[in-house]
Amino acid sequence: MTNIKFTHSTSKFKSLADGISLSIMQGDLRMGDNLLSINEASVHYKVSRDTVFKAYNELKRRGLIDSNPTIGYFVKGEVNHVLLLLDTYSSFKQNLYHRFVANLPENYKVDLIFHQYNERLFETVVRESIGKYSMYVIMNFSNEQFSDTLKSIPSNKLLLLDFGHFEKSEYSYICQDFNESFFWCLNQASPLLEKYNKFTFVFPEEICHPVSAIDYFVKFCVTQNLRYEVLRKESDWKGAEAGTAYLCILSEDLVKIIKDADAAGLTIGNDIGLIAYNDEPVLEVIKNGISSISIDFGLMGEKAARFVTNKQPVREYLPTELILRNSI
């Protein structure tokens, strides 16, 4: 018999439906198994017949059970409940989510949670999710180290997204390369950067972007014999300077540079250069277009959905691309 915990925070029929769904997902109830009748379930769970009826209808709606006048209610299919745990909200993460959901069958349910780079929250969400989901799609807490908490998830049910500069050979992943691919994109932009006297990487200390990107930025500038600086502290900012090209990770810094340039009468793409890290639709229209270095997060969502549905291992780094617009 399935044990159900009823709480005041969730309706009884939903608690009952979720409990039976969990039993199906954990294999306690298998395809073809009979469920208790309405009357039997009402007595066993100490709830009204109406509560059981609503719960069974909810499970029917999810495609998990069906009924037959001869044999009653029975398990019809698998539970397809997916945890999508991302780091922070942004428009390109929203694109990932929408493409992910759009490429899943209708009977798949997705819970989207952001861990906000809060390690305690990340570990709590993962720990409390064990056994509640059929598949897990997760942005790891760090680019440098595989989080131990994730080891409690069966490797065939886990897909790592985005970060991945650590040993992960037994897991599936769809990641981006923050190092060599980033360096390659900068090299593509080098002919357009020649007209600037200096290249500045705006890289605030508090962000969780892999710091290894700084090494490859410096490597590029040294190779191209280009003056450079890396701004880590807000106090280092002296305002937009003519003859300087800027590379920004945060949209806030991008806006700040555009405002400074406007106030100083500097033209973006001529007096100063501007490149954003991670593309988003608004960059196509701001100041006649802002160039960016980015992977296709929508494609990442599409490929993640493919993994969830076909359950075939995938180990892939998505290409990082330079998207040229008028800002350099």
Asked whether residue 32 carries a pLDDT value surpassing 90, the answer given is: no
State the total domains in the chain: 3
Domain boundary among 75, 95, 128: 75
Q: Is residue 5 part of a domain?
A: no
Rounded CA gap, 57 and 129, in Å?
Answer: 25
CB under 8 A, 24+ apart: contacts of 31-36: 31/75, 31/76, 31/77, 31/78, 32/74, 32/75, 33/74, 33/75, 34/71, 34/72, 34/73, 34/74, 35/65, 35/72, 35/73, 35/74, 35/75, 36/1, 36/73
Judge contact between 107 and 76, C-beta under 8 A: no
Among the residue ranges 28-32, 99-103, 255-259, the one predicted with the least confidence is 28-32
Q: Is residue 216 part of a domain?
A: yes
Shared-domain flag, residues 117 and 204? no
Shared-domain flag, residues 152 and 189? no
Domain boundary among 54, 75, 96: 75
In this prediction, residue 326 carries a pLDDT of 96
Could you write out the DSSP letters of every residue in 184-197? HHHHHHHHHHTT-S
Asked whether residue 21 carries a pLDDT value surpassing 90, the answer given is: no
Q: Is residue 160 part of a domain?
A: yes
Tens digits of residue pLDDT in 109-163: 899 999 999 999 999 999 988 877 889 999 998 888 899 999 999 899 999 999 8
Judge contact between 147 and 161, C-beta under 8 A: no
The pLDDT of 22-28, averaged and rounded, is 82
Shared-domain flag, residues 268 and 121? no
Shared-domain flag, residues 88 and 137? yes
In this prediction, residue 77 carries a pLDDT of 74
More confident residue, 70 or 219: 219
**CATH code, 37:** 1.10.10.10
In this prediction, residue 173 carries a pLDDT of 97
Shared-domain flag, residues 130 and 208? no
Q: Is residue 258 part of a domain?
A: yes
Rounded CA gap, 321 and 328, in Å?
Answer: 15
Shared-domain flag, residues 169 and 302? yes
Among the residue ranges 182-186, 217-221, 237-241, 286-290, the one predicted with the least confidence is 237-241
Tens digits of residue pLDDT in 132-144: 788 999 999 888 8
**CATH code, 116:** 3.40.50.2300
Q: Is residue 24 part of a domain?
A: yes
Shared-domain flag, residues 50 and 136? no
Q: Is 281 exposed, middle or buried (0-12, 13-18, 19+ CB in 10 A)?
A: exposed
Helix 297-310 to helix 91-102 angle (10° resolution) is 30
- Owning domain of residue 59: 12-75
Q: Is residue 202 part of a domain?
A: yes
The pLDDT of 174-201, averaged and rounded, is 96
Shared-domain flag, residues 192 and 279? yes
Q: Is residue 253 part of a domain?
A: yes
In this prediction, residue 62 carries a pLDDT of 79
The chain-wide mean pLDDT, for the chain, equals: 92
Among the residue ranges 69-78, 166-175, 215-224, 241-250, the one predicted with the least confidence is 69-78
Shared-domain flag, residues 190 and 164? no
Shared-domain flag, residues 159 and 232? no
In this prediction, residue 2 carries a pLDDT of 58
In this prediction, residue 30 carries a pLDDT of 85
Where are the strands (E) in the chain, listed by range? Answer: 65-68, 72-75, 81-86, 109-114, 135-139, 158-162, 172-176, 198-202, 227-231, 244-248, 273-277, 291-294, 315-318, 321-323
In this prediction, residue 274 carries a pLDDT of 98
Q: Is residue 7 part of a domain?
A: no
Tens digits of residue pLDDT in 302-317: 999 999 999 999 999 9
Asked whether residue 195 carries a pLDDT value surpassing 60, the answer given is: yes
More confident residue, 29 or 255: 255
Shared-domain flag, residues 161 and 304? yes
Shared-domain flag, residues 188 and 284? yes
